[in-house]
Amino acid sequence: MRNLDFAPLYRSTVGFDHFADMIDRAFTGDVSQPTYPPYNIEKTAEDAYRISIAVAGFSEDDLAIETRDNQLLVSARKVEETKDASKTYLHRGIAQRSFEKRFQLADHVVVTGASVEHGMLHVDLVREMPEALKPRQIAINGKTAISAKPAKKAVAKAA
C-alpha cells in the first residue's frame, strides 16, 4: 500500500493535525479499535446523531459515559460474580467482558442524553453551532465611499 506524506499539509494548516492523523491511520490500516461490542451510528436529524451500543448483560451501574477533548468515551466494568455452585453453564456465549469504546467527536458536537433499553445503550448527540459561527446577512447601507477630491495646490507667484 502507498504511504502518503502529509508533511506539506502540516506546514500550511493550523489546527487540522488531528484530521490528517485520522486520514493517515485510515490509509495505513491502523485497526487498533476493537470490534467488541458492536455498535451503530445513525443520523436522526439534520444536526442530531445517535450511537447505539449492544450492552447485553450490563446494568446501568456497570456503564460509564464521559466526554473530554472532543472524544466520547463509553466504558463498562462488569463486577465479577462469585462462583455460584447452583449455576452450571452448558454454553456461555454472551460476552460480558469489560470494554472501552472511543469515538472522535467533531467540533461543537455535544452529548444530550443516554438511555439503556432492551440491551442497547443509546447515546444522543447534537451539533450546536455557536452564534458567532452561524451565517449572517450583512445589510448594505447605501453609499459609504469617501469622495476623493484632489487637494488644491498653492501657487506661488513670482514677484
Contacts of residue 127, defined as CB under 8 A and 6 or more positions apart, other chains included, come to 47, 48, 49, 106, 108, 109
Residue 63 and residue 16 in one domain: no
Q: State which residues form the domain around 75.
A: 36-80+93-134
Residue 27 and residue 98 in one domain: no
Contacts of residue 44, defined as CB under 8 A and 6 or more positions apart, other chains included, come to 50, 124
Residue 22 and residue 97 in one domain: no
Residue 71 and residue 114 in one domain: yes
Residue 10 and residue 47 in one domain: no
What would the pLDDT profile of 128-158 be if each residue is shown by its tens digit? 888 777 788 888 887 655 555 555 555 555 5
Residue 30: what pLDDT? 53
Residue 26 and residue 100 in one domain: no
Q: Answer yes or no: is 143 within a domain.
A: no
Number of domains in the chain: 2
The CATH number for 109's domain is 2.60.40.790
* pLDDT average, residue stretch 35-48: 89
What would the pLDDT profile of 4-23 be if each residue is shown by its tens digit? 666 665 555 555 556 666 66
Q: 111 and 124 in contact (C-beta within 8 Å)?
A: yes
Mean pLDDT of the chain: 78
Residue 41 and residue 55 in one domain: yes
User: pTM for this structure?
Assistant: 0.62
